[in-house]
Structure 1
């Protein structure tokens, strides 16, 4: 007890004598008055901060309505005073307080409005392009100046894990089994013809692209490679804003328009995005050379010319109504449609070593059209004790129709008696989905659970009409088929995410799915019934350091066959090569492991090492029939595939005006299966690298260029060639952050590119040479408008049917 009293007295006296010894402290005052340098009016509510030599804030105060400020209780010495406001340019003054002067009056201080700051200051690396989390990586398109002139499809070449092949098909880690979402939800825009929509969608209307490499259990189990989530521009403040983009491309492409608009008034918020385009593909050539290696060898050579044009339009809307602070009602409506036509003239010659076996010329005229729509409504219930505790009810309807008609007319026949014919295929799909989600946070732990039901119907009505001797067309029942398929998926999931104070984050989950399939082939009077159960786990973790981070993910995913893979419709557009679906397909399950590392400081570096493996993979298998000289390609559950490799994304500002970025992946794949009853194997490297550089000049000009190296495709029976593409772009800010003009050229050094695909089987080898238009020039005009003040609320959970692969 005595020790405590003595210690208290010592502390008291030390403090007393220290206070007495302090010369003239705590009695100095700083004052002044802030004036708008343009209008001459008082600058009210500006933050005034006094900092010491170590830049530590000692005192802060807001200027009054008349612009004046007064800060007392300051000690003598040297300090800096900073004046900051969203309406004014930040200004800093160095001051010295004299021990013998109790008041320092700075007088009238002029500060410049923020709108004039843009004329004098260039902001460099305002925000990072890449953000990596435990289960996903995000690319900020608005932070990339190229988004002002490129389409979303072109920008995807710069996004980690994504690549675009020779036919403009997007791939995730070299895999086409993935799902595309719009604002976290499935959309009919991306179900029917995703690449056509992505081509016409201006990147300026997109905020960011998320690549979910390790989907948690709350997502449907389908999508072997993962999920691509495209997030459109959202209002960040109350009022309205929007953007619109006009572009033209020649000779490959055409005019397009796209944009987005968001508005909020009171409790109601509305956002919309849409676009339309006309596309033209000038005439190009194709050659096919097939050599059979069985007991009756033959050589097939085909050459053809093709051209096409098309139209595409899409519209997406989201609505949000805040009933009160705990109840939110939201919905979405998406519409899309397309149509196109094409002409294909082919010359076919079949011979053996000594004689001509067969020849013909074939003219094909094709017309196609389709439309799709989806609508959803969500009700979100919050809880007063924790704003992150949520209960959500959701319902969604989605459907589309596709119509395809082609006429085949033969001429110059030799030993070929197949009559002229017509093919008409009408297909449709509709589904209803109901879902219940619950999120329950407990300190650093977040628990999620939910149940879901999907009720889907696929229908196809395919008719084959053969030309009669009287020049009429009669239906050929042996080649005609009507197909109905119903699919019911019942699912439940549970996930746990735990965040530690030392920046560790863990997420584990399980998903249970029961799938019931009932297929009816009306024409052939046959049925297929399937009923299977799936258990799908997932694990991901990450650790953040000061400027670096590491992550790990393992999950299982299901590849469930889609309507195009199930549809037994036989495409005989080229009679020598028939393509069809397989209604007997079953789903398959794959595994994926990923290790990631990222660094963010002056630049950013993201690297990932991946290993994927799967058995019973859904592959297209080709078999050559020497009796009919026809190669038939059909989807099969055959063999398996493995892939080992990595991904790298690097962004670095070489100077204040020059930046450099690299995005690429390298994988080695192994595939095996069965063709014509015999085992087949294929292996090789697949790689894609995109190198981009940009230079910012004075007066709002910017130059950029890129080189894209594609190492080709590898499947169980084919491999394609490597090619190099280039692109150059120049854009000019006509009105800062409002109006931008861009001009660009892709592949100016080569008008055409030849895509070479080698296909093989136990009894044949085949080489396809496909000439493609490569050189493109064009321009675009992008305009942003509006002003916002308050964010639009969205439900945090909703339906995301990612259970059918593209």
Structure 2
């Protein structure tokens, strides 16, 4: 039998120390360099894994576009593996001179438990917002109301540069559509995070890496940056970035300022209440305008203490407002409404949020190869917000219809974390760590009635609420590689202490504590150098946060009332998936088949109370089973053309004994795009997005579809980029329908949202280096925090939703 030996190592750039993915590997017999005896490519991480038959002297070469050919000699004497270590390559100035480079870095890096979307390699990043671009990211969908789902669920965790940012978590869609995609380096979708990460976040992690997060410090001084400005009929924004290195110090900063202006948003609701066998019908129409100013900025600093240790720090500030003004019209007739009546309102809602976060990390390696280390991390975040709503009935004028509410909330979090990485051998690692989180969350919600023109506090409808959480966690995770197999198995334990206080109603105060043991497992098999197969299992929990627990009754909408439930329990869910990845020079593909199941989902539901008022709240009252199939494919047709598809199909079954109802159905979404290089090197992109209705325990939310196209031209050696984007050119508005029903009500809602948008973007790169500098990312990866403080109904994956502030 022939002797088989695996040649391993990593191909890297000698200057930037970055890995070289998909470089061509050729192996020759020594003295016979005409025809290779074996060929393959480095993987997405620049890893070398080439099998060679036989014994003796050999020559291996590495070749990638624009790089010098690298040649190594080695001898095989029957050993199973030969490790070349780090193999370095460099730019080939002679080869580059007068040669047009048509190769690109892969847009998507695929692993069995994680996807990385390289935003900077997408031509649409020059013109799109981050929210627009999210529709292209594998395992992510965005509906017509800008609700984001990951892996089929709205319950997921958002990290920014690897660390928690509660402002992003609480207002993800609003912030994402205010950030130009050009500010983002890549988006990671982690479907099976492992024991190292917090147990919160059912669907996984969405990690947004900005341009400054470039990894480890390099041995070269310089700086780089860019300026970008966008003007459009619906929004304007400006952003700036600069990063660099001077000696042992690295630094980076970025900022963006912008606003959105959406006019003529239309909502039509028909609500039927079934009381004593009679139908009472209310029709509600609201026309409104929305304006959202937005600001964001952060600063990062890093310092290399010596060759084995470094310290890094960062601060960030995010601020936005949402102002909505409208004139609702309500009519009622039949049943409890008798012969009927109607009236008009003037309504105004203003939300404002400011988020501050700061972190400091110390990391020390125990060996020269940087395989074993300890990291000490601290993170602080503070997220005060306010919401002011008023409703004034003016036709006919009735004082009972006037109200004003003022709600203030604040979440303050301190996090301490210690992580140990211990390389047991060349192919095995044991990761361990401990973490402590303290959260102080409070809300002060005031409700006012009008007496003439005077606002009078209604103490019965006002409430103060505090929720303090202390979470202590520890984990152990074993990572190993054995030939073509790799595995990651971990166990995490978290114990939570909660203290709930009502400052003005001390008799309602209570405490509770609970512990959760959370396992996770990943097994991967490299079928070929170009394909792999993976099996993932993970259990996750979901702690309800302050907006889900807050008992304050929101009466700002005259058609119904909504409130939280302080008796919610922690939600537990399980996810099992089978993943297949395949990539080549022309085609890359991912297919994921998953199963979600949960027996105590925190689901939003509605009912009519004894006063014939429609109530909306949440309980752990739903069992669900969701089967998900996701597929991503990108085909490079030629050096000037490529096709991309990102789609999903799901089937869900939801049941609730408490509500005496069930629901099931198929749903799906697809984003397909064509990228083409036109004459004069103009890059053209055409995309189609389509989505079916999403199901929840009491109904569904409607589907949608739209087109977008963009043209991009780069000038002055790619330093200047000019782009124009056109969204929904065939129709001026996006229309959707939602439906929900219970034993005593039926709701049908139609939304009409302006989505006819055109924008122009200009960006300029500057600096004396092509490198974008940054520091080691923070090791803090905090639990799931509040993503949607108003609540958006049951998620697409049906595996639960909630918040954990």
TM-score, normalised via structure 1 length: 0.83
Per-residue deviation, 1:384: 3.1
Report the alpha carbon displacement of residue 522 of structure 1 after superposing the two structures with TM.
2.5
For residues 157 and 606 of structure 1, what CA distance do their matches in structure 2 show? 16
Residue of structure 1 in register with 2:137 after alignment: 159
Matches of 1:51 and 1:778, distance apart in 2: 58
Write the distance in 2 (CA, Å) between the matches of 1:761 and 1:85: 62
Instruction: Say which SS state the counterpart of residue 273 (structure 1) adopts.
Output: strand
> What pairs up with 1:667-746 in 2 under 5 angstroms?
667-673=650-656, 678-746=659-727
Show the counterpart of 2:314.
Answer: 332
CA contact (8 A) 2:393 2:399 kept: no
Bigger relative CO (Cα 8 Å, ≥ 6 apart): 2
Task: State whether residues 188 and 336 of structure 1, in contact with CA within 8 Å, keep that contact through their aligned partners in structure 2.
Answer: no
| Compared CA separation, residues 736 and 115, structure 1 to 2 (3 A) | farther
* CA contact 1:343–1:366 (8 Å) conserved in 2: yes
Hey, what does 2:569 align to over in structure 1?
A: 586
Once the two structures are superposed, residues 521-575 of structure 1 have per-residue CA deviations (whole angstroms, 9 ceiling, x without a partner) of: 2234312322111000000111222211111100000111122212223221212
Name 1:647's counterpart in structure 2: 630
Q: What pairs with 1:404-803 in structure 2 (closer than 5 Å)?
A: 404-413=387-396, 418-443=400-425, 444-468=427-451, 470-500=452-482, 502-525=483-506, 526-544=508-526, 545-601=528-584, 602-625=586-609, 627-673=610-656, 678-788=659-769, 794-795=775-776, 798-803=779-784
CA contact (8 A) 2:475 2:492 kept: yes
SS, match of residue 714 in structure 1: strand
Distance between the aligned counterparts of 1:775 and 1:528, measured in 2?
51
Label 1:687 to 1:294 Cα distance change in 2 as closer, same or farther (>3 A).
same
1:422-456 deviations in Å (ceiling 9; x for gaps)? 10001111011111111100111110111111010
Aligned equivalent of 1:270, options 229, 244, 251 = 251
Q: Report the Cα offset of residue 792 of structure 1.
A: 5.5
Secondary structure of the residue aligned to 1:729 is strand
Query: Matched residue of 2:611: which SS?
Result: coil
1:357-389: CA deviation from partner (whole Å, max 9, x where unpaired): 443222112222121101111111211365211
Equivalent-residue separation in structure 2 for 1:789 and 1:286 (angstroms): 49
Q: Tell me how far apart the structure 2 counterparts of residues 768 and 332 of structure 1 sit (CA, whole Å).
A: 44
**What secondary structure does 1:200 align onto?**
coil
Equivalent residue number for residue 121 of structure 1: 100
Measured after TM superposition, the shift of residue 349 of structure 1 is: 1.2
Q: Aligned with 2:371: secondary structure?
A: strand
Aligned residues of 1:179 and 1:805 also touching (Cα < 8 A): no
Of 376, 395, 402, which residue of structure 1 is paired with 2:378?
395
Q: C-alpha displacement at 1:419, in angstroms? A: 4.4
**Counterpart residue number, 1:369:** 352
* Alpha-carbon separation, structure 2, partners of 1:783 and 1:51: 50
Using the alignment, how far apart are the partners of 2:701 and 2:578 within structure 1?
29
Alpha-carbon distance in structure 1 between the residues aligned to 2:759 and 2:32: 53
What is the deviation of 1:317?
2.3
Alpha-carbon shift at residue 56 of structure 1 (Å): 9.7
* Residue of structure 1 in register with 2:42 after alignment: none
On the 8 A contact 2:113/2:522 being kept in 1, the answer is: yes
Bigger radius of gyration among the two: 1
Deviates more, 1:610-619 or 1:416-425: 416-425
Change (3 A) 1:804 1:587: farther
Q: Contact (CA 8 Å) 2:223, 2:773: kept in 1 or not?
A: no
226, 244, 255: which is aligned to 2:204?
226
Distance 2:304 2:521 in 1: 35
| Structure 1 residues 556 and 391: alpha-carbon distance in aligned structure 2, compared to 1, 3 A threshold | same
Deviation digits for residues 173-201 of structure 1 (CA, Å, limit 9, x no counterpart)? 22111111112111244134222221122
Q: Cα deviation per residue 1:98-122 (whole Å; 9 max; x = unaligned)?
A: xxxxxxxxxxxxxx99499476514
**1:413 Cα offset (Å):** 4.1
Q: Specify the SS of the correspondent of 2:729.
A: coil
Map Cα deviations across residues 652-699 of structure 1 (whole Å, 9 max, x no partner).
01222111010011101112226xx54111111121100000111233
- In structure 2, relative to structure 1, the CA distance for the partners of 1:636 and 1:413 (3 Å cut) is farther
Instruction: Please give the alpha-carbon distance, in whole angstroms, between the structure 2 residues aligned to 1:463 and 1:553.
Output: 47
Taking structure 1 as reference, are residues 570 and 344 closer, same or farther at Cα in structure 2, changes over 3 Å only? farther
| Alignment of structure 1 residues 233-272 onto 2, 5 Å | 233-234=211-212, 238=220, 239-250=222-233, 252=234, 254-272=235-253
Deviations 1:623-645 (A, max 9, x none): 123x5332110121112221002
Distance 1:303 1:603 in 2: 49
Alignment CA distance shift 1:374-1:509 (3 Å): same
Q: 1:246 to 1:385 in 2, by over 3 A?
A: closer
Deviation, 1:581, is 1.6
Q: Which moved more, 1:718-727 or 1:522-531?
A: 522-531
1:729 is displaced (CA, Å) by 0.8
442-451 or 572-581, larger mean C-alpha shift:
572-581
Cα displacement (A) at 1:700: 2.3
CA distance in 1, matches of 2:136, 2:688: 11
The change in CA–CA distance for 1:532 and 1:746 in structure 2 (over 3 A counts) is: same
Distance 1:211 1:88 in 2: 31
Separation of aligned partners in 2, 1:367 and 1:692: 37
> In the alignment, is residue 193 of structure 1 matched against residue 193 of structure 2?
no
**Inter-partner Cα distance in structure 1 for 2:125 and 2:31:** 41
State how far apart, in whole Å, the 2-side matches of 1:714 and 1:206 are. Answer: 32
Could you tell me whether the CA contact under 8 Å between 2:499 and 2:510 is conserved in 1?
Answer: yes
Displacement of 1:217:
0.5
Q: Paired residue for 2:326?
A: 344
Number of matched pairs:
705
C-alpha contact 1:188 1:335 (8 A) present in aligned 2: no
Deviations 1:462-500 (A, max 9, x none): 1111111x4321111110101111111110011000012
Distance 1:796 1:278, change over 3 A: closer
Distance 1:336 1:385, change over 3 A: closer
The structural deviation recorded for 1:53 is 2.7
Matching residue of 1:168: 146
* Structure 1 runs of 4+ with >3 Å offset: 49-52, 82-91, 112-120, 234-238, 787-797
| Secondary structure of 1:584's aligned partner | coil
Structure 1 residues 182 and 497 mapped into 2: Cα distance closer, same or farther (>3 Å)? Answer: same
Secondary structure at 2:327 match in 1: strand
Query: Structure 1 pair 118/419, CA: closer, same or farther in 2 (3 Å)?
Result: farther
Aligned: 1:150 with 2:128: yes
Q: How large is the Cα RMSD of the aligned pairs?
A: 2.6
For the structure 1 residues 50 and 153, does the alpha-carbon distance in structure 2 shift closer, same or farther, using more than 3 Å as the test? farther
SS at 1:639 equivalent: strand
Q: Which residue of 1 aligns with 2:801?
A: none
Q: What TM-score results when the alignment is normalised by the length of structure 2? A: 0.83
Gaps of 5+ in 1: 1-48, 58-81, 92-111
User: What do the CA deviations read for 1:328-362 (whole angstroms, capped 9, x no partner)?
Assistant: 11111111111232212111111116942443222
Q: Output the CA distance in 1 between the equivalents of 2:420 and 2:174.
A: 36
